[in-house]
Amino acid sequence: LTGAAAVLVTTFLASTVEAIEMTIIVLGVGAARGWRSTLTGAAAGFALLAVIVTVAGVAISRIPIGPLRLVIGALLLLFGLQWYRKGIARVAARGLAGMSEMQVEGPPPVSRGIDPTSFVLSFKGVVLEGLEIAIIVVSFGGAAGFTGTAVIGGVAAIVVVGFIGFALRGPVVRIPRSLLQLIVGTLLTSFGTFWALEGLGMTWPQSDLDIAALVVVYAAAALGYIGVERRARRLVWGVA
């Protein structure tokens, strides 16, 4: 479970969550204000993310695995719990609904050269949505000992979601992002718990099998909370 396949799946799903937002932002800006400056801004954003991943990846590879798993495990646990909680709330409230389209406002685009508004909106969209994923990809891959696989998972998600967004125009907003966020939150919380406690010197009773047990426990708790939230919504708001 701590092997390359688990790293690939987790980083792919985690990156998909943010890649959906990135694609919606870039598509929204590009459609409203023109593609050249928008795509230039997105490319600049990806270049900055690549530098961050490279620098952080090299730095993490030099830290001993014990302390690394404690620190990375704790960080993944704390961050994963945020997605876990928000995923529960959003799935309970909106089910499998996707995201809404982006409306772009601002001054009219310039006819020549680079349009600063398009460039900045696109650049910020890519960097802001990608930064957390860059950290997750590098830390998750580093703690598992599969940094290269983690980077492949992250890049693959951006390519797949980007292709769906640009080539098919539309389906990307229907991807159930809240459910994905809950699944990734559950995975990050489970791996984070496992690695953090291992880093504290604890030996898990069933070794790596306990990661699966943690996933089951956290998933069961999430389903329970979704049920409670939905019942509470029905009682207070009278909605199905």
- In angstroms, give the least distance from the CB of 194 to other proteins: 9
Nearer to other proteins, 32 or 93 (CB): 93
- In angstroms, give the least distance from the CB of 72 to other proteins: 12
Site string for other proteins, 201-230 (x = CB under 8 A): xx-xx----x---x--xx--x---x--xx-
> Which member of 72, 75, 143, 161 binds other proteins (CB under 8 A)?
75
- In angstroms, give the least distance from the CB of 87 to other proteins: 9
25 binds other proteins (CB under 8 A): yes
> Which member of 4, 128, 156, 160 binds other proteins (CB under 8 A)?
128
Six token digits for residue 184: 């990734």
Interacting span for other proteins (CB under 8 A) from 40-48, 50-58, 142-150, 190-198? 190-198
Q: Which residues bind other proteins (CB under 8 A)?
A: 17-18, 21, 24-25, 28, 74-75, 77-79, 81-86, 88-90, 93-94, 97, 99-100, 102, 124-125, 128-129, 131-132, 135, 181, 189, 193, 196-197, 200-202, 204-205, 210, 214, 217-218, 221, 225, 228-229, 232-233, 235-237, 239
